[in-house]
Amino acid sequence: METDGSSALTAQHLVKIYNPDRPELAVRAVDDVSFTVERGESVAIVGPSGGGKSTLMYMLGCLSRPTSGSYFIDGRDVARLGDDALAEVRNRHIGFVFQAANLLPRRTAVENVMLPLAYAGARGARERALEALERVGLAQRAAHRPNELSGGQLQRVAIARALVTRPSLLLCDEPTGALDSRTGREILDLLEALNREGTTLLMVTHDAAVARRMRRALRIGDGKLEADGPTGEVLDGAPARASDAGGG
């Protein structure tokens, strides 16, 4: 299998089976999912709870390995990498935004944003972290600790932390799930703006209104890719595009 390296990510026949060694307990959480995301796209991953969205996202985020299949990030197959190499991929190529901001409580905003750079061994970490805070509009809060920030501000710090290593892919898991609707809209505005500037955006959500902010949507149900296409069509029940869903 090969890709031309121009896509942000390519999943080919991704399968994740929990308890693969014990047939009576084995669960096919993700079942033969293939798709490609080009650079600069914004993609929503939607589907019912327990349908495999989260499992897929953890694989796409290199937090877990597929049982079988291939997964390319920037043209490199990362499906079989070791723990250290995966950690490096997460560090360099992927930025995570979770439902909870998951900031370190006794660190200031800028120190939290610097955390990925510490593991990258990068120079000028503070300057780069301040730049990232600037991009999310929180430069003036750099010296504040999490308990001095609002929910929306916390999530902005988390986004800055995800951006600071200039990843090719921003992976968001219900980023507005814990916020009120107005703050949630602001966060989505920010993510959209980042996407317009060129950041590839992948967003797992069960909220149709959130999903509609993305241009493309993948619907995952029962571990399978059920639909893939423009968000409006997918959410309104269109079938998967045969060319992408079927794979080889």
Partner 1 sequence: MLLWETLGTAWKALGASKLRTALTTLGMVIGVGAVVTMLAMGEGARAMIEGKIRSLGTNLLSVTPGAPTRGPVRTGSVETLTWDDARAIAELGEVALVSPESMSSAQVRYLARNMTSSVVGATASYLAVHSYDLTAGTAFSDNDLLARRRVAIIGANVARSLFGNLSPVGERIQIKGMSFKVLGVLEEKGNEGFFSPDDQVLVPLSTHQAALFGRDYLSSIALQVASEEATSRVETEIKRLLRLRHRLGASAEDDFDVRSQQEMLQVMGQVIGIFTALLGSVAAVSLLVGGIGIMNIMLVSVGERTREIGLRMAVGARRRNILLQFLVESVIVSVAGGLVGLGLGALGAAGVATVAGWPMVVPVYAVVLALATSFGVGLVFGVSPARRAARLDPVEALLHE
Least distance in angstroms from the C-beta of 114 to partner 1: 8
Residue 197 contacts partner 1 per CB under 8 A: no
Q: Are 36 and 74 in contact (CB under 8 A)?
A: no
Which range of residues in 55-63, 130-138, 200-208, 217-225 is near partner 1 by CB under 8 A?
Answer: 55-63
Nearer to partner 1, 158 or 218 (CB): 158
φ, ψ of residue 108 to 5 degrees: the values are -70, 170
Sorted by sequence, the CB contacts under 8 Å of residue 238 that are 6+ apart come out as 227, 229
Q: Are 103 and 112 in contact (CB under 8 A)?
A: yes
Nearer to partner 1, 55 or 231 (CB): 55
Which range of residues in 7-15, 32-40, 42-50, 118-126 is near partner 1 by CB under 8 A?
Answer: 118-126
Two structure tokens written together for 20: 């693969």
Q: Are 216 and 187 in contact (CB under 8 A)?
A: no
Residue 81 contacts partner 1 per CB under 8 A: no
CA distances from 232 to 103, 190, 204, 213 (A): 34, 21, 16, 10
Cα–Cα distance, 229 to 191 (Å, whole number): 20
- The 8-class DSSP code of residue 43 comes to E
Nearer to partner 1, 111 or 228 (CB): 111
Residue 35 contacts partner 1 per CB under 8 A: no
Binds partner 1 by CB under 8 A, chosen from 67, 98, 144, 224: 98
Nearer to partner 1, 108 or 231 (CB): 108
Least distance in angstroms from the C-beta of 96 to partner 1: 5
Two structure tokens written together for 84: 């250290």
Return the closest-CA partner of residue 220 out of 199, 202, 200.
202
Least distance in angstroms from the C-beta of 153 to partner 1: 18
Binds partner 1 by CB under 8 A, chosen from 7, 33, 96, 179: 96
Positions in the binding site for partner 1 (CB under 8 A): 58, 61, 63-64, 83-84, 87-88, 90-92, 96, 98, 102, 104, 106-107, 111, 114-123, 125, 161, 165
